[in-house]
Structure 1
């Protein structure tokens, strides 16, 4: 049996109010949503193969987890601080990645990681 041929990934965060959550996410990503395909949804297209979606689901709001890979976590921390978001990270926690976390207003966990030189998280076991 071969691998499933996945060409894109859609990650969803359950939120109580998509409009309010979109304002916070726009600060995190650095731009407004790319699409509002229907009531209760907001999409950010994150090339090359992913979409981050806010989904109105009050019963599950705050229970989502997503990890965003960045090339330079220190630069991401500075950029997020300029946007009023406090990313704390520890570059001594792992020999493979530097990571930090943010929590959105609904309580969803957003982890930001930078792979340490020579480590490819997409190829890891």
Structure 2
């Protein structure tokens, strides 16, 4: 059975504040507002989506990994939008990582040098 779309869910306590913060993160308004005040979505790849949802019980426990083509450029763009990503850390096999935490404490890790096979 083929999978048509993959949706990563980020739980937040203050939905309105998170909605605005993720607009800043992605540099654009949400693509879908399926449940007003409870769920907002950004399409980040052809079939990959990020959903931000109001779930105070789970807020701050999310981990979102985002592979980007040019990590330094991506971090510069985030900084220009008023966000403060962490420094770049060298991982294994040429992979670089930089983390950013949303207002609820969810961790977004940007990955440079990602590849399907190592």
Task: Tell whether 2:10 aligns with 1:13.
Answer: yes
Match of 1:26 in 2: 23
TM-score (norm 1): 0.86
Larger radius of gyration: 1
Shift of 1:87: 1.4
Check whether the contact 1:89–1:98 (CA below 8 A) recurs between aligned residues: no
**Hey, what's the Cα distance between the residues in 1 that align with 2:105 and 2:51?**
16
**Structure 1 unaligned residues grouped into runs of 5+:** none
Q: 1:51 aligns with which of 45, 49, 55?
A: 49
Deviations 1:59-101 (A, max 9, x none): 1100011101111010011111111111123253332411100
Deviations 1:32-77 (A, max 9, x none): 1111101300000112220000010001100011101111010011
**Hey, what's the Cα distance between the residues in 2 that align with 1:92 and 1:47?**
25
Check whether the contact 1:66–1:109 (CA below 8 A) recurs between aligned residues: yes
Match of 2:78 in 1: 80
Could you say which structure has the greater relative contact order, defined with CA pairs below 8 angstroms and 6 or more residues apart? Answer: 2
Could you list the runs of 4 or more consecutive aligned residues of structure 1 that deviate by over 4 angstroms after TM superposition?
none
Q: How large is the RMSD of aligned CA atoms in angstroms?
A: 1.6
**Structure 2 unaligned residues grouped into runs of 5+:** none
TM-score (norm 2): 0.90
